DNA sequence: CCCCAGTCCTGCGGGC
DNA sequence: TGCCCGCAGGACTGGG
């Protein structure tokens, strides 16, 4: 489930395509229901053919291929999408291909098992509307406690579902939300309104540290093995998870609490009831301490 | 406005 | 063994 670290790894994996020229684009026939590709492939081709790739960016959990025409190809992998420059896990789920020339890659491909993702082309003006500050919050990789407090501090919501709100902060998904709150020592059901300034700072610091570390390990490849980097290789951060999908095992930090699974807004949350108390009374020194 | 349930889709694993 | 159902959680929609 690509979140910020996985999507950032995809972006870095195709970054060497900057300077390449777009030779062609293709919607790939597979037996599945077609994914969303906009505009239609004929119009898509007319707009991108011959353009040069100027820059590779990221908008929250989307990869952005900026062209020298000022158009942006935005790839949104959602649940099971992959951006690849190597052979895909399966041929049957290949959905889209951007043929390149004059660079290290023959093509950038989009693969998607469940097909919930999409590939869309936007002008710069359209892009700014689609992914502007009104729609997408500041990037989680550089979030500050002050920004968290501004954007969520008055909310009545529980903190964990709030972290998934892409308008508040962009890039956090279900997996990293649990890991972040565990490192910060905050109970996932704490109300945003009740959080102190220091606790927002702890969450911000944990956000930056967890995400940066996950990028260093090239993301998390879970049991189903879906997520891969651009070279179709698994990530390594799943071995660093403290809580996600680890219900029943002892907490790797305190070795006393048992990782617990609850459901919030129809999503699984994992936490340590001992490290993450509702009152948040643990000492800060205990709160932020890396688990090796 | 704020927030939540339901929806899309496929493949896997648990239960019988 | 084989089938069926529930579940995984990205972002969007509709409605309370």
A105 and A169 share one domain: no
Do residues A244 and A273 share a domain? yes
User: Chain A, 67-86: which CBs lie within 7 Å of strand C?
Assistant: 76, 78-79
A292 lies in some domain: no
Structural domains in chain A (count): 2
Q: Mark whether A93 and A120 lie in a shared domain.
A: yes
State whether the beta carbon of A264 lies below 7 angstroms from any atom of strand C.
no
A153 plus A208 within the same structural domain: yes
Q: Which of A130, A148, A167 is the last residue of a domain?
A: A130
Same domain, A146 and A251: yes
Same domain, A173 and A204: yes
Please, what sign has the CA dihedral across residues A58, A63, A65, A66?
negative
Distances (CA, A) of A82 to A16, A75, A172, A248, A258: 17, 9, 18, 31, 34
Query: Whose CA is nearest the C1' atom of nucleotide B9?
Result: A114
The pLDDT value given to residue A118? 96
Whether residue A179 is contained in a domain is answered as yes
Last residue of a domain, one of A130, A165, A194: A130
Predicted local distance difference test score (pLDDT) of residue A186: 97
Same domain? A217 vs A176: yes
CATH number at residue A263: 1.10.8.50
Q: Considering only CA atoms, which residue is closest to the C1' of nucleotide B3? A: A157
Domain annotation covers residue A158: yes
Beta-bridged to residue A48, according to DSSP, are none
Predicted pLDDT of residue A281? 59
Q: What is the largest CA-CA distance in chain A?
A: 61
Q: What is the pLDDT of residue A226?
A: 84
Whole-structure pTM over 0.75, yes or no?
yes
- Domain of A99, CATH number, reads 3.20.190.10
Q: How would you class A245 by CB atoms within 10 Å of its CB: exposed for 0-12, middle for 13-18, buried for 19 or more? A: middle
Q: Are A152 and A70 in contact (CB under 8 A)?
A: no
In a domain, A245, yes or no: yes
Q: Decide if A274 is inside a domain.
A: yes
pLDDT of residue A191: 96
Q: How far in angstroms lies nucleotide B10's C1' from the CA of residue A92?
A: 12
**pLDDT for residue A290:** 45
Q: Is residue A135 part of a domain?
A: no
- pLDDT value at position A250? 95
Checking each nucleotide's C1' against the CA of A162, the nearest proves to be B3
Strand C close to A30 by CB, under 7 A: no
In a domain, A65, yes or no: yes
In this complex, the residue with its CA at the shortest distance from the C1' of nucleotide C10 is: A78
A89 plus A152 within the same structural domain: no
d(CA A262, CA A95): 35
Catalytically annotated residues of A: 2-3, 61, 267
Q: Based on the domain organization, do A124 and A212 belong to the same domain? A: no
pLDDT confidence of residue A131: 94
| Boundary (domain end) residue, out of A96, A130, A164 | A130
> A124 and A144: one domain?
no
**A171 belongs to a structural domain:** yes
A262 touches strand C (CB under 7 A): no
Task: List per-residue pLDDT tens for chain A, 292 residues long.
Answer: 899 999 999 999 999 999 999 999 999 977 678 999 999 999 999 999 999 999 999 999 999 999 999 999 999 999 999 999 999 999 999 999 999 999 999 999 999 999 999 999 999 999 999 999 989 999 999 999 999 999 999 999 999 999 999 999 999 999 999 999 999 999 999 999 999 999 999 999 999 999 999 999 999 998 777 899 999 999 999 999 999 999 999 999 999 999 999 999 999 999 999 999 987 755 444 445 444 3
* Nearest-angstrom CA–CA distance, A224 and A63: 23
Three-state secondary structure of chain A: CCCHHHHHHHHHHCHHHCCCEEEEEEECCCCCCCCEEECCHHHHHHHHCCCEEEEEEEECCEEEEEECCCEEEEEECCCCEEEECCCCCCCCCEEEEEEEECCCCCEEEEEECCCCCEEEEEEHHHHHHHCCCCCCCCEHHHCCHHHHHHHHCCCCCEHHHHHCCCCCCECCCHHHHHHHHHHHCCCCCCEHHHCCHHHHHHHHHHHHHHHHHHHHCCCCCCCCCCCCCCCCCCCCHHHHCCCCCCCCCECCCCCCCECEEEEECCEEEEECCCCCCCCCCCCHHHHCCCCC
- As a rounded value in angstroms, the CA-to-C1' distance for A226 and B11 is 11
Residue A169 CA to B1 C1' — how many Å?
19
> Do A75 and A207 belong together in one domain?
no
Distance of A107 CA from C15 C1′ (whole Å): 44
The separation, in Å, between residue A225 CA and nucleotide C8 C1' comes to 12
**Domain span at residue A247?**
140-287
Q: Are residues A75 and A158 located together in one domain of the fold?
A: no
| C-alpha dihedral (A257, A258, A259, A263), degrees to nearest 10 | -110
């Amino acid at each position: 489930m690509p979140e910020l670290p996985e999507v950032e790894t995809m972006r870095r994996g195709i970054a060497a395509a900057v300077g390449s020229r777009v030779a062609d684009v293709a919607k790939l026939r597979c037996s599945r229901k077609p994914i969303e590709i906009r505009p239609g492939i004929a119009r898509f081709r007319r707009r991108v053919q011959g353009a040069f790739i100027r820059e590779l960016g990221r908008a929250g959990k989307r990869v952005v291929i900026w062209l020298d025409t000022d158009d942006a190809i935005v790839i949104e992998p959602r649940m099971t999408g992959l951006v690849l420059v190597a052979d895909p896990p399966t041929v049957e789920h290949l959905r889209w291909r951007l043929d390149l020339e004059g660079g290290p890659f023959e093509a950038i491909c989009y693969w998607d098992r469940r097909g919930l993702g999409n590939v869309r082309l936007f002008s710069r003006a359209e892009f700014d509307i689609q992914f502007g500050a009104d729609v997408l919050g500041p990037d989680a990789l550089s979030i500050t406690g002050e920004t968290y407090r501004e954007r969520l501090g008055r909310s009545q919501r529980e903190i964990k579902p709030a972290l998934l709100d892409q308008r508040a902060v962009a890039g956090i998904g279900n997996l990293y939300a649990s890991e972040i709150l565990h490192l910060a020592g905050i109970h996932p059901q704490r109300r945003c309104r009740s959080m102190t300034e220091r606790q927002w700072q702890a969450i911000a610091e944990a956000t930056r540290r967890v995400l940066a570390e996950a990028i260093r390990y090239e993301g998390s490849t879970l049991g189903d093995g879906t997520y891969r980097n651009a070279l179709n290789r698994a990530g390594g951060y799943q071995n660093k998870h403290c809580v996600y999908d680890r219900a029943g095992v002892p907490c790797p930090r305190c070795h006393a609490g048992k990782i617990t699974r609850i459901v919030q807004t129809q999503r699984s949350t994992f936490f340590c009831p001992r490290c993450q108390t509702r009152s948040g009374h643990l000492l800060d020194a205990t709160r932020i301490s890396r688990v090796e």
